[in-house]
Amino acid sequence: MSGVNEPIAAPSREDPVVQAASEWIGGPFGRRGMVRRRWWTPLRIALAVASLTLALGFIADQPCRSDGWADRADRSMWTSMCYSDVAFLYRERGFADDQIAYRDNALEYPVLTGAVMQATVYAAGSVGSVIDDATDPVTQSTRFFDVTAILMALCALVTVVATARTVPRRPWDAMLVAASPLLLLSATINWDLLAVALAATAIVAWTRERSILAGVLVGLGAAAKLYPVLLLGPMFLVALRAPDRRGALGRFAATAATAALTWGAINLPVAWWAPDGWRAFFDFNADRPADFGSIWYALDLLSPGLVAGKVDTLAVVGGVIALVVIVGLALAAPEQPRLAQLAFLAVASFLLVNKVWSPQYALWLLPLAVLARPRVRDLAIWQGAEVVYFVGVWWYLASLFAPDDPLISDRTYALVTVVRVAALLWFAAMVVRDMFRPEGDPVRPFVSPRVPTVPEVAT
């Protein structure tokens, strides 16, 4: 019967770090160990851990939430590292004044995210009318944050499920998303987890050969944060290397066409209804200079004037070079690369050359990194650098708001950014190594063209 003797990943056997840690509880799961069905399946455990992680993140936001993120110049907000765009944007983009997104105000977010923000305004208002009907903007913005936090938590749980389902014989990989410090620190900074969940489910749909669904999810993701459109390139390259190239390219064409139609169906009505508001996202990103987190900003701090006036050109040239490199790697790899590997490289390359790299953008990479190389040591090194950057950027912003008493200098912040870039490049190198040495890829032995339902796995 298909699937009975297929290997199932046991982390305590195949991950060196987990194997060493398992010695504290009796050692790795034995090769002759019995697999038993239990209510606490790997996915349910991962969802419980993710819920705990998100709850701890919400608690960590309390120093800011207690005063409703009232003032950007409040140094304690930055030193407490609980900043969030959510409450500020409620007050600064007209939502507190009953304005409609895009029609009445310029909103620098894609249409689906704007729609979610607008719906959250109504939901938060309904909750407020039941509780105490407070009308001051700070209290209202706090409720807006709370409803947004719940929505982002749901998106995070969807991402955990998608990670577990992408390679069903590696269900424990979802724990690497669920217990991530990036999820704890960044879940409620912005609305990024909406696009992350859509991108993660698009990958599941593609691996199950559900081309139309994959296209719908990519289109929705691109309408929420744009970066999920980058998945189409890796999908094309995977199809190009498929044994059944013609059939795979046909499925890709269906996915790409559906993604375009979905994106258009969401964007075109708003572009017709409020053209200036709709264009605000594109104008904002085209006109913005090098900003926090980007390598260009760091270079400008280290050597003022080095990249002045050249950032747009450098970003485009860097993106083209990255595209050529990824295509070359995909075609030169000895076996068909996995979608997660190429998707991680594509999104990582975009962040490396982008004009801004906000702390929460690491969430874009989290499920892709776990699916590309689910190794605790490697993920810990990369995420450790992200945590260092998370501290560094808030301390740097605290210093900008209080220049007479800086916590870190321009040069230190720039060096922290360089460390972040170096860690991502190192992790990308590990992914490329797996592509060219597929026998060392921890995921490949557990991937099959069609994966049957799998019994639950003991630890």
Q: How far apart are CA 307 and CA 132, in angstroms?
A: 52
Strands of 281-355, DSSP E: none
Instruction: Compute the distance between CA of residue 436 and CA of residue 444 in angstroms, rounded to an integer.
Output: 12
Write b or e for each residue in 214-240: b if 16 or more Cβ atoms lie within 10 A of its Cβ, otherwise e.
bbbbbbbbbbbbbbbbbbbbbbbbbbe
Give me the tens of pLDDT residue by residue for the chain, a chain 459 residues long: 344 455 676 676 676 676 666 555 544 555 554 556 677 899 999 999 999 999 999 999 999 999 999 888 889 999 999 999 999 999 999 999 999 999 998 899 999 999 999 999 999 988 876 676 667 889 999 999 999 999 999 999 999 999 999 999 999 999 999 999 999 999 999 999 999 999 999 999 999 999 999 999 999 999 999 999 999 999 999 999 999 999 999 999 999 999 999 999 999 999 999 999 999 999 999 999 999 999 999 999 999 989 988 999 999 999 999 999 999 999 999 999 999 999 999 999 999 999 999 999 999 999 999 999 999 999 999 999 999 999 999 999 999 988 888 899 999 999 999 999 999 999 999 999 999 999 999 999 988 644 333 333 433
Residue-level pLDDT at 1:
36
What is the structure's pLDDT at 404?
82
CA distances, 152 to each of 54, 125, 196, 366, 370 (Å): 9, 18, 10, 15, 20
pLDDT for residue 371: 97
User: Domain boundaries in the chain?
Assistant: 37-446
Strand partners, 101: 105
pLDDT at residue 405, as a whole number:
84
CB 280 within 8 A of CB 108: yes
- Helix extents (H) in 132-244: 137-166, 174-178, 181-186, 192-207, 211-224, 232-240
Question: What is each CA distance from 228 to 112, 189, 350, in whole angstroms?
Answer: 13, 19, 11
What angle (nearest 5°) sits at the alpha carbon of residue 58, between those of residues 54 and 61?
Answer: 140
